[in-house]
Amino acid sequence: MRILSLVLFGFLASAGADGAHHWGYKGEGAPQNWGDISTDFHACKYGKYQSPIDITSTIKATTDNPLAFAYKGEAKDVANNGHSLQVNFKEGSTLKLDGKDFNLVQMHFHTPSEYTFNGKHFPMVAHIVHQTKEGQILVLALMFEEGKENEVIKQIWSSAPKKAGESKALAALDMNALVGKVESYIRLDGSLTTPPCTEGVIWIISQNNAKASKAQIKTFTNIIGVNNRPVQPANGRVVIEAK
Ligand SMILES: [Zn+2]
């Protein structure tokens, strides 16, 4: 069965070259059809803890277990994968939570934000993806408000390829400056917001937002387009607001 699904997926992936079966954000490949594109994307349709969701109420909690950042920000490259601009990192940066080290793997962006707050989007979000050695994924979402120009975004955008499938080397990024101090955050369980929509992802949404200029946000949308998955049913999800 596994071999069959791999073969099938291979077929669909190659059929995607003409855009007919490939996932995206509009047309046949739009988010409401992801679960039907491939059996590997089953969770997109039948999962019960999908992301993003609309955040309407939270359970307030104080934590004696703050996030501990040890970011070096050594970037490998920035890739245009057709769905987003993605910065890939070299090993060596970590975020500690629950006594576990999550290694910084990659960071990509969505316009507008995917999680919403009482129905409202932020104009842009960075998803900073981490993984333990055992494969546990943690995504830190950093919301962007419109404001002054962001130096780290400026550095990424200046190297970002405009063509899908291309990548370009990138110097180290000041990830500590980008993320800033996370004094409070929202925590919930969810999934990857792109196929295969795998569940069991820890989501941390910083409540200390970053800023980027209107022109910087527009630059991303001009290259990638609107790339947010719509909100999914919360299904009684526990949403914690930690300080
Ligand atoms: Zn994302």
- pLDDT, tens only, 138-154: 999 999 999 999 999 99
Tell me how far the alpha carbon of residue 235 lies from the centroid of ligand 1, in angstroms.
21
Residues with CB under 5 A from ligand 1 (ion): 127
pLDDT for 64 beyond 80 = no
**C-alpha 108 – ligand 1 centre gap (Å):** 6
Which of 83, 110, 121, 127 is catalytic? The answer is 83
- The alpha carbon of 140 and the centre of ligand 1 are apart by a number of angstroms equal to 10
**Amino acid in position 66:** P
Per-residue pLDDT reduced to its tens digit, 219-238: 999 999 999 999 999 999 99
Q: What is the pLDDT of residues 74-120, one digit of tens each?
A: 999 999 999 999 999 999 999 999 999 999 999 999 999 999 999 99
Distance 100 CA to ligand 1 centre (A): 22
Q: Where are the alpha helices (DSSP H) in 91-213?
A: 151-159, 175-179
CA distances in angstroms from 132 to 124, 140, 224, 237, listed in the order given = 26, 14, 29, 23
Q: Are 157 and 220 in contact (CB under 8 A)?
A: yes
DSSP for residue 231: P
- Concerning whether 83 is annotated as a catalytic residue, the answer is yes
DSSP state of 230: P
Distance from Cα 160 to the centre of ligand 1, integer Å: 17
Q: Which residues pair with 208 in a beta bridge?
A: none
184 HSE (CA, 13 A, CB side): 10
User: How far, in Å, from the CA of 197 to the mean position of ligand 1?
Assistant: 11
The CA distance from 169 to 171, in Å, is: 7
- Per-residue model confidence as pLDDT tens digits over 190-211: 999 999 999 999 999 999 999 9
